[in-house]
Structure 1
Amino acid sequence: MEDSQINFTEESKIESIETESAKIFEKQIEEEISIPKHQWLALAMKKHPDALELRERTHPLTKVQSFSKLFLSDKTEAKYHLSNELMVELLLQHLQFLGLKKSMQTLQEESNIKCPKSHLKKSRLQALLQIGLNTPNQLWEMGLPDMLNEQSIEFLENFEEQQEEEENSQNNIPFWEEPIRPGENISFTESNNEREPQIIKAATKLIERYHVPKLKSTTEEEYTTKKKAIQLRVINVLKLWIESHFSDFNPRLIHDISLFVDNTLVKDKYISLAKHLRNAIANKIDGKNTDGLATNLEMPPEPKVPKNIFSPKMTFFDIDEEEIARQMTLAEFSIFSTIQSKELLNQAWNKPKLKHRAPNVLRMIYRFNDIALQVATAIILPTKVRDRSRTLAKFIRVAEHLKALNNYNTLMALIAGINSTPVHRLKQTWTEIPYRSYEIFNGLLDLMSSNSSYKNYRTSLRNSVPPCIPYLGIYLTDLTFTEDGSPDFIDNLINFSKRRLICDYILEIQQLQQLGYNLQPVLQIQNFLEKFPKLSEEELYKKSLEVEPREQTISTN
């Protein structure tokens, strides 16, 4: 934040001390981390996605000056000025409209200003902003202070009604009365089998409505039956939404649905359903996952713990390969199981401005890259060929156990590290490993080969019995291909085929998230593996040339 944006209200002496302290702290920071100042904000936003989201939401507020020049280019200065009292009144009335009574009361107590009465259907702040966006000159002539008086109510109400009429005139046919017009508002996939139902390919957007209007062509009995059926479907969709995708709910949405449940559903005598929805919301808010991961009731296998598990001298070779694979799998699944469906939309993991929406996908990606570098580093660092070959062979056996555990993501990370250029070129090291290890690795390479769009891997994944961790990179590639390769709209209709395909990929991931691994975590081993050294790709290649120069002949040392 720039100095000009900070208002110092303390005495000059205190201000001087604070400024000097800030400079000292800044200097210490610069000495400890050599990060350019222009990168600080980017790093802070990366570490704090919540702050990034808030910054993006409030960013338009920084453009108010240019916005006003664009819409009122002939006005050089404000005609009227809002006092602090008027601004607080606007905020109080807006909080009251939103139902945020506690915030409103707190603001009243701190400002000693009472919330003004309002007869409008919307908040005055919202109405003023809407008028300002649509008719800025009208707002200029009337003056903001006048807009807060009772004389302004008639104008605001008339403006609101005018807006509603304009919106209704654009499409005055309710969706429930709109006829199905193939080619205009809906299209279906082609089918050669008359017995197969047609699948919607693209259509206009439909909004589910609980309050079903009575059509002129229906009798009272028909209307009652149809109304109840539609209402039950709406309630069922709401139930599934709460239980399966509660991450979509913000405080405002929770408030609106709670009011709907407590008022409308109870009034319509859906007492038991209202209670169920109320409990579902409460459980989600309290962190009780009513549809959590399925678990295995059997006892987990006894972990293969080395005798020197608590010794600081424990090495990689002291730990059994199968137990290494187990602990890597538990750590991997703990991240994989937390990926939410919204993280997989709009390629959020691949776009700088949207990355804060996909924290767990990014954790999987970062972990994948770290493991690949750690594996390559562990193989290359030993100076003796014998030690490098021994490390390489052990990682191959770990990879074999990862395959047995259906942990394809960590398996692919190990393969990436073993098959990286700095390791692949170590001819002496590869010559010294057992032939059996060489065969195993070639089999794993064939399994995870990208040939024919990962045909072998996809077949193996389909035949795997959960628990299972898929290679996430392929899903991200498939989602990217679908997002970029298919249009969002077909002849101005929503492309349902594209949405359905994206949904299928996400559903596959969600199904694999449901069953966890029945294994005993050993934190000492997990912490040991996480602390493996990690060189950069450039450092790895340089070290690879040091331990086995290009012209060096094969040695049996």
Structure 2
Amino acid sequence: MKTRSKKSQPQSNIGRISSFRDLRKTLKPRRKLGSSSDGKTLSTVLKSQLPQLIQTDTIKFNKGTPVSRKRRSLTHDPSVRRELVVTSDDKGRLLCLGYPMYELDGRDLGINICVYSLQRNKKLLEEVITPLESLTNAALHGKRVPSPKARRSSSRLSNASCNSTQINSLAPITTMPSEKLARAGEVLRTVLLARAPHMIRDRKYHLRTYRRCMVGTEMVDWLLQQSPLVHSRNQAVGIWQALCEEGIVVHVCREHQFKDKYLFYRFCEDDQGVGTTPSPADKKDCEEELQDVLLTLAQIGPDAMMRMILRKLPQDRTLEDLEIIYEELLHIKALSHLSTSVKRELASVLVFESHAKAGTVLFNQGDEGKSWYIILKGSVNVVIYGKGVVCTLHEGDDFGKLALLNDAPRAATIVLREDNCHFLRVDKEDFNRILRDVEANTVRLKEHGKDVLVLEKIATNVPGPDGTMQLHYKYSVMAGTPEKMLEHLLETALDNNKSGEHSNVPDHFLEDFLLTHVIFMPNDSLCPSLLTHYHAKSIKNDDDESTEYAMSHKHRVVRFVQEWYRLAEDTFMEDKAVHDFLEELRDVVEDECNIYPSLRSDLADIEAILKNYRLNKAPQTNPPVESKRRISPSVMLTKKMASDLYIDSINKRQPIKATDESIVKVYCADHTYTTLRVPMDTPVQSIIDMCREKLGLGEEELVLCEIKSSGDKSTYRLDDLCITTGLSLNGLLFISPRKHTDALTPHPSQEGPALGTSNQLDLMSTKEVAYHMTTHDWELFTCVIEQELIYLVMGRHQFGAITANLDIFLRRFNEIQYWVVTEMMLAQNVGKRVQLLRKFIKIAAHCKEYQNLHSFFAIVMGLSNIAVSRLSQTWEKLPSKFKKMFADFETLMDPSRNHRVYRLFVAKLTPPIIPFMPLLMKDLTFTHDGNKTYFDGLVNFEKMHMIAQTLRTVKFCRGRRLELEPPSTIKSNSDIEDYIRYENLKIIDNQRLLTQLSYKLEPRRT
């Protein structure tokens, strides 16, 4: 046993005690330690001073039993393996320091003193053990001395912002576990003890015994066996990590988060030594709760995994971790305007920070700016001196960046508005480094002193000839003028002399350009530019080089046209400017074939495209046939087509074109109406003029409105297009003088049906209904043109284009949703409603099986409608099997973390898929609203890339044809198909009326 030298000891009697041996001898016989000026014994000093130093606690120590309370030591020598520890409860924090060897008699002092064999975690001990000299000197002066951890905390600012603080990535993120997760941990522990008691036992490892612990790999194995909800080891790890991060499950040495490895973990009850054996009644209750608990944990598991990654030190994050963080950053509003490379840089430096209590001050007005914060969970108030709370920031918002950019003091105080707020933090040093790196890797091409193209240099690894990975740089387009981006694309992405593997342009550049060019370079600008590039000539005098230069440009233009046709075959030939361009290009190539024989293959490619066009546009010998199809109660679509195509259209739906016509009823305030026949791309102004003439409404200012069944009114802009397919489910068009629009009321027919169709549904099997739903939805989905998503989000009037196919597909979602609610509300007895519930849940299950997520979500959202969900008597009678199925469905549609559960589910599917289109529209709207289209006169191509990503998702879902085997049928296929078809479902879409019907079925309980 080492002792300190006499010189180093404080000049007090107590300070001379430098080892356990000395103190033990002092306490046992209670003899004096030599002479001193005050004549006090150690015993009397301890008795008088220790109550001021610690909170005493009476705990019975048994030899060999681990003790799990945070303690302070009266000696501090890391080289000594035996330490003296005073039992105390420090703020309720639970921590196992070691195993008691034997006990000292300290009853006369009111304390228990125990000798420990401490764990070999020196860093942990330094956090919780007070040095002897600090404790004894304080005792002499009657002062309470905090532990080293407390002393470090007291030297910080009173607020929470101290970026030099080392974050403990293993500590719980909450001071107390939530009630829901505490109960989940109790249920899992009880079921574990009931089903696999051998998993929780004492274990020996490296000559040490760990009491009442489990092995990480066994915990994952066990969880996979308990429920089909847990379908992967990674998901099971997320479930256990959700318990770990709140301290319900802990690593025995506090050295690891949860890992699927041979590591020891305990439930907190066992870690505290207060774990009990559950009673039979407890076991029964927990067995019943298990599936609900696993469902809850499965929902929060992905978030727990994300937090686990974010709490790692940046240098400890793997490439897989960085990719997961990057995917998360794509959906954070505050970061939507940043480039891909900046987001990837942020993924490597972001730090997770959490605060438990509302009212915590993150930083004060006037403080030095040290960090940029992004709200991951919760909300904060922005407070300015003299003004109070000026605004509130919520999840996805950011703050603190301005002080870093301007190197200025904080402009406001940030105060937590609620408990348990989570943040992503970027420290100043990392923030400035990323800005420097971005500028260093940015290449700007200037013409006449102005930027015309901005490229970003990206380092990538590519396999070399010898199989080793070699560093290679690519250049990604960030911004540019349309003409310069087209030039860059033709010279790089379509260069035959460069292998695609080492091309200095990302693979998606060409596709991104073609999918989004309608935004920044419409066809009437793109086609002349392509002809200019086709005729490009070298400025050099070398004939051979000049010829090679000209030929390469000609080949690239033809290749560009081929790719354009491949990506947009349905719309490629609809534009007259494109057709005229192709005719001119064909003539030019044909004329030059004699000079450049290699152009003959290019000519053949252009001829093939034009041949397809002629086949589609060829005049028919037979008179055209008019096909009619109802779109909504007041709108009928008419299409003129060749008689042979008409037969095909019966079996295969054709996309709606701008030249197709719709027959629409336009109502007046007295509910009389007139019928108009208008092309799909007719603007509102033209419809008003036609109504004015037909109804003789005079010269007063007229407006065209939609009146919904609820009475809500929306007025159209004069330049709006394609309004007939965008009506709500039971919406009608009304025309009225602007000053009299308040007099417009819904038509009685808009209320919807008075009787349900459950008797018809009873005759159909759920699989048959789901099959016909899926085939019909697939027809609607395949008619949608990718660019229609752009037109709808950014405004049809800006492009002069229709979105009829997308409108009808989105309308289909609402129709199925309200069809489910309508049928439930029109079923008058509980038994019939329970039967319908079962049927709808089974239909949803079959839709999910068919990967028809559009109708699947519509049915689930219909059953989640407040009018249905409040029918407690109905839901109580639903068998538990169906309740469980519906709970699983609700898990999939959980909107938290930007629909993370749904996105992970879809990522595992292969085409054909009918996606949840409203979410794709939300993504596109988020991208458009959060990013500028132009920066300083340059197209923001980072935004184009994000838009193209969403459009690529649509293309991916339609990557294969839908081939479903029809179910064996009892009822006629045509009867079911007629019932399911879009125009034949009768619904109530007035939420107020549906809620009233719900209260009539099951009045509110008093």
Task: Give the TM-score band, short-chain normalised.
Answer: 0.5 to 0.7
SS at match of 2:885: helix
Distance 1:423 1:183 in 2: 61
SS at match of 2:451: coil
Q: Which residue of 1 aligns with 2:486?
A: none
**What code does the residue aligned with 2:600 have?**
I
Does 1:453 pair with 2:898? Answer: yes
SS at match of 2:474: coil
Q: Which residue of 1 aligns with 2:924?
A: 479
Does 1:226 pair with 2:549? Answer: yes
| CA apart distance, 1:527 | 1.3
| CA apart distance, 1:545 | 0.8
- The CA RMSD over aligned residues, in Å, is 2.7
Judge conservation of contact 1:479–1:502 (CA < 8 Å) in 2. Answer: yes
2:608 to 279, 292, 314: 279
| CA apart distance, 1:484 | 1.3
Q: Which residue of 2 aligns with 1:253?
A: 578
Distance 1:550 1:373 in 2: 22
Q: Which residue of 1 aligns with 2:479?
A: 202
Does 1:533 pair with 2:986? Answer: yes
| CA apart distance, 1:549 | 0.6
Distance 1:475 1:221 in 2: 51
Range with bigger deviation, 207-216 or 475-484: 207-216
- Equivalent residues in 2 for 1:486-505 (5 A)? 486-505=931-950
Distance 1:277 1:430 in 2: 63
- Equivalent residues in 2 for 1:261-300 (5 A)? 261-268=586-593, 269=597, 270-287=599-616
Distance 1:432 1:182 in 2: 75
Runs of 5+ unmatched residues, structure 2:
1-444, 461-470, 484-528, 618-756, 967-972
| CA apart distance, 1:435 | 0.5
Judge conservation of contact 1:406–1:468 (CA < 8 Å) in 2. Answer: yes
Distance 1:418 1:385 in 2: 15
| CA apart distance, 1:335 | 0.7
**What code does the residue aligned with 2:586 have?**
V
SS at match of 2:912: coil
Query: Residue by residue, what CA displacement relative to the aligned partner does 1:303-344 show, whole Å, maximum 9, x if unpaired?
Result: xxxxxxxxx997212222122111101111101111112211
Distance 1:285 1:482 in 2: 38
| CA apart distance, 1:359 | 0.8
SS at match of 2:914: coil
Distance 1:352 1:259 in 2: 29
- Equivalent residues in 2 for 1:26-41 (5 A)? none
| CA apart distance, 1:283 | 1.4
Distance 2:448 2:456 in 1: 15
| CA apart distance, 1:525 | 1.1
2:458 to 191, 197, 205: 191
2:779 to 334, 350, 359: 334
Query: Residue by residue, what CA displacement relative to the aligned partner does 1:98-149 show, whole Å, maximum 9, x if unpaired?
Result: xxxxxxxxxxxxxxxxxxxxxxxxxxxxxxxxxxxxxxxxxxxxxxxxxxxx
More strand by share: 2
**What code does the residue aligned with 1:259 have?**
E
More helix by share: 1
2:865 to 408, 411, 420: 420
Distance 1:453 1:430 in 2: 29
Judge conservation of contact 1:342–1:357 (CA < 8 Å) in 2. Answer: no
**What code does the residue aligned with 1:533 have?**
K
Judge conservation of contact 1:482–1:502 (CA < 8 Å) in 2. Answer: yes
Q: Which residue of 2 aligns with 1:545?
A: 999
Distance 1:218 1:444, change over 3 A: farther
Distance 1:223 1:284, change over 3 A: same
Q: Which residue of 1 aligns with 2:559?
A: 236
Distance 2:831 2:541 in 1: 86
Judge conservation of contact 2:534–2:557 (CA < 8 Å) in 1. Answer: no
| CA apart distance, 1:356 | 5.8
Query: Residue by residue, what CA displacement relative to the aligned partner does 1:156-199 show, whole Å, maximum 9, x if unpaired?
Result: xxxxxxxxxxxxxxxxxxxxxx8689982222235355524121
Judge conservation of contact 1:348–1:354 (CA < 8 Å) in 2. Answer: no
Judge conservation of contact 1:348–1:358 (CA < 8 Å) in 2. Answer: no
Distance 2:908 2:449 in 1: 40
**Count of aligned pairs between the two proteins:** 352
Aligned sequence identity (%): 22
1:468 to 893, 907, 913: 913
SS at match of 2:482: coil
Distance 1:216 1:364, change over 3 A: closer
Distance 1:238 1:354, change over 3 A: closer
Q: Which residue of 2 aligns with 1:374?
A: 819
Distance 1:195 1:496 in 2: 23
| CA apart distance, 1:469 | 0.7
| CA apart distance, 1:257 | 1.5
**What code does the residue aligned with 2:975 have?**
Q
| CA apart distance, 1:493 | 1.4
1:401 to 828, 846, 867: 846
- Equivalent residues in 2 for 1:84-103 (5 A)? none
| CA apart distance, 1:223 | 1.6
Distance 2:758 2:534 in 1: 70
Q: Which residue of 1 aligns with 2:640?
A: none
With a CA cutoff of 8 Å and minimum separation of 6, indicate the structure with the bigger relative contact order: 1
| CA apart distance, 1:355 | 9.2
Instruction: Return the TM-score normalized by structure 1.
Output: 0.59
Q: Which residue of 1 aligns with 2:885?
A: 440
Query: Residue by residue, what CA displacement relative to the aligned partner does 1:349-382 show, whole Å, maximum 9, x if unpaired?
Result: 8668879621111101111111111001111211
SS at match of 1:364: helix
- Equivalent residues in 2 for 1:150-165 (5 A)? none
Judge conservation of contact 1:327–1:526 (CA < 8 Å) in 2. Answer: yes
Runs of 5+ unmatched residues, structure 1:
1-177, 289-311, 553-557
**What code does the residue aligned with 1:538 have?**
R
Query: Residue by residue, what CA displacement relative to the aligned partner does 1:478-515 show, whole Å, maximum 9, x if unpaired?
Result: 11111111111223211111111111211221222232
SS at match of 1:494: strand
Judge conservation of contact 2:791–2:803 (CA < 8 Å) in 1. Answer: no
Q: Which residue of 2 aligns with 1:365?
A: 810
Judge conservation of contact 1:418–1:424 (CA < 8 Å) in 2. Answer: yes
Distance 1:501 1:245, change over 3 A: same
Distance 1:354 1:523 in 2: 40
Structure possessing the higher radius of gyration over alpha carbons: 2
Distance 2:795 2:861 in 1: 20
| CA apart distance, 1:277 | 1.7
Distance 1:182 1:416, change over 3 A: farther
Range with bigger deviation, 513-522 or 236-245: 513-522
Distance 2:609 2:539 in 1: 38
| CA apart distance, 1:230 | 1.5
Range with bigger deviation, 509-518 or 385-394: 509-518
Query: Residue by residue, what CA displacement relative to the aligned partner does 1:24-50 show, whole Å, maximum 9, x if unpaired?
Result: xxxxxxxxxxxxxxxxxxxxxxxxxxx
Distance 1:476 1:285, change over 3 A: farther
Distance 1:392 1:313 in 2: 11
